[in-house]
Amino acid sequence: MKNRCFIFLLIMLLPSLTWAQTKNTATEVKDYREVDGKIILDLIVNGEQAGFVLDLAGHTAILPEYVEKFKIDTNTPGNFGYEGFLYKHVPTSKSVLISTMSFGNNVFGNGVSAFVLEDEPYLRKLGVAGVIGGVLFRNVVLTIDRKRKKITTSMPYRPSYMKLDHRADIEVVPGSGVVCTVTLDGKAYPLLFDTWNNGMISMTAEDFAKLGGNRGGDATIMNGYKEAGKASVTKTVGTCNFVKDQLGSVVVSENTDLSRSVLGTGILEKGIVSIDYQKQKIYFQPFDLIEIKDDVVEDIASKVEPGKLNPITREYFLEHIYDYRKDKEFVFKGDKPVVIDFWATWCGPCMRLIPEMEKMAEKYKDQVIFLKVNADKEKELCSMFNVVALPTLFFIPVGGKPIIETGAMPEKYEQIIKDKLLK
């Protein structure tokens, strides 16, 4: 009887447990731009903001003029384990290591390997610094919603609106490429998901020869990062199945430059795609399957209290301190001096310093605003300002630029407040 009661209780609780699991995520939703069909993300690279084309069938790579702009040490090569691009013909001159690279707070890398591209006029035409591959997203679930022009990164689970029964297995291949299965007229094909390719499906000559149907028409093809060319051969396939959905007829193009057949961004016209690299799953569902409600992230710094060491988020920093997305040079927005303490719970000196900072916040509550940033949660801020040692403190006078200090030295910091912020 007890066992039956326990089983009944477990069944009753299962829906709420599943809901809690899908909600127990760190979720970040960011806008992306689209130029000439390319998805462009704004990343922070060694403290510089720059646009990158999302190329999940490629690798992280930059144009040669950005080596100096990003202050990259060219004496240390990247550690790809291979000499060039694996799945497409993209000329490169060398590889380097990028110190820090981030996309929001969920996606962050130290010592990121990158190729230096040879001259690529088309990328300059797009106004980007390079391309970003899948390796930077290996620790998150990456969701692309082309209808809303949104990129969602979440961990450890998919966004709650992506249905569990709309998923399939993938293979994550070297270089963090994603291979998924698409069924065309009843025959399954393993296709590399290529967010550079503007088409629906492009095939190698070998795979294309396996398809039946009539030839004719034009289709866009891609060769490296050059501007689009034209394929002379396409075929219309009667039925296309992807994950759990029947997509009807699709146009397939032949591209003899491909090393393997690809699924392009045409799939993003038909629904939302989520890639779970860790579990090797892909989710796909039509836009109208379910109402999309992004997980709301509470702003912990909606109110800053005088006399307190107030926790803040990136959003507060952008709104009240300095918006580095709009102004290249540091422009302080506040009308009172500010002290910002970058800290972490695992940092012993940080934890010893915090009580001293709280005392100073109380002492100077009518003159200086005291704030703190959790470095583990606000990785984009740390990347933007090259915060690599903790604690790091910013002392910002009205109309001035930050005075940056590291270490737990409360006496020195109080003297800086008196000499630099209040005079």
Secondary structure percentages of the chain, helix, strand, coil, to 5: 20, 35, 45
Domain with CATH 2.40.70.10 in the chain: 26-155, 175-266
Q: Express each pLDDT in 261-272 by its tens digit.
A: 999 999 999 999
- What's the whole-number mean pLDDT along residues 227-236? 73
* pLDDT band of 297, cuts 50, 70, 90: low
The reported pLDDT for the residue numbered 231 is: 60
CATH of 175-266, one of 1.10.287.3510, 1.25.40.80, 3.40.50.1820, 2.40.70.10: 2.40.70.10
C-alpha distances in Å from residue 90, one per residue of 105, 193, 264 = 30, 17, 18
Q: For the chain, what is the largest distance between any 2 Cα atoms, rounded to a whole number of angstroms?
A: 81
* pLDDT band of 12, cuts 50, 70, 90: very low
The reported pLDDT for the residue numbered 119 is: 84
Q: Point out the residues that are catalytic.
A: 347, 350
CA distance 402 to 396: 4
- What's the whole-number mean pLDDT along residues 177-200? 95
CA distance 309 to 313: 13
Using CB atoms within 10 Å of the CB of residue 342, give its burial: 0 to 12 exposed, 13 to 18 middle, 19+ buried. Answer: buried
* pLDDT band of 328, cuts 50, 70, 90: confident
Instruction: Supply φ then ψ for residue 195, to 5 degrees.
Output: -80, 5
Say if residue 55's pLDDT is above 70.
yes
The reported pLDDT for the residue numbered 230 is: 61
Do the Cβ atoms of 79 and 146 come closer than 8 Å? no
Secondary structure class of 59 (helix, strand, coil): coil
* pLDDT band of 214, cuts 50, 70, 90: very low
Say if residue 180's pLDDT is above 50.
yes
Exposed e or buried b for every residue in 180-214, given b needs 16+ CB within 10 A?
bbbebeeeebebbbbbbbbbbbbbbeebbeebeee
Q: State the chain's mean pLDDT as an integer.
A: 87
CA distance 258 to 413: 59
The reported pLDDT for the residue numbered 283 is: 98
Domain with CATH 3.40.30.10 in the chain: 309-421
CB atoms closer than 10 angstroms to residue 93 = 11
Copy the structure tokens of residue 280: 């090797």
CA distance 394 to 403: 6
- What's the whole-number mean pLDDT along residues 19-35? 70
CA distance 251 to 241: 13
DSSP output for 172-218: EETTTEEEEEEEETTEEEEEEE-SS--SSEEE-HHHHHT--S-----
CA torsion 160-150-134-78 (nearest 10°) is: -130
* pLDDT band of 210, cuts 50, 70, 90: confident
Residue type present at position 145: D
* pLDDT band of 222, cuts 50, 70, 90: low
- What's the whole-number mean pLDDT along residues 252-257? 86
The reported pLDDT for the residue numbered 26 is: 83
**Percent of residues, the chain, with pLDDT higher than 70:** 88
Given CATH 3.40.30.10, say whether it is the number of domain 309-421. Answer: yes
CA distance 338 to 356: 16
Do the Cβ atoms of 210 and 261 come closer than 8 Å? no
* pLDDT band of 59, cuts 50, 70, 90: very high
The reported pLDDT for the residue numbered 112 is: 94
The reported pLDDT for the residue numbered 9 is: 35
Superfamily of domain 26-155: Acid Proteases (2.40.70.10)
Q: Express each pLDDT in 63-116 by its tens digit.
A: 999 999 999 999 999 999 888 999 988 999 999 999 889 998 889 888 999 999
Q: Express each pLDDT in 121-158 by its tens digit.
A: 999 999 999 999 999 999 999 999 999 999 999 989 99
Q: Which residue has the higher pLDDT, 253 or 180?
A: 180
Copy the structure tokens of residue 357: 């900072």
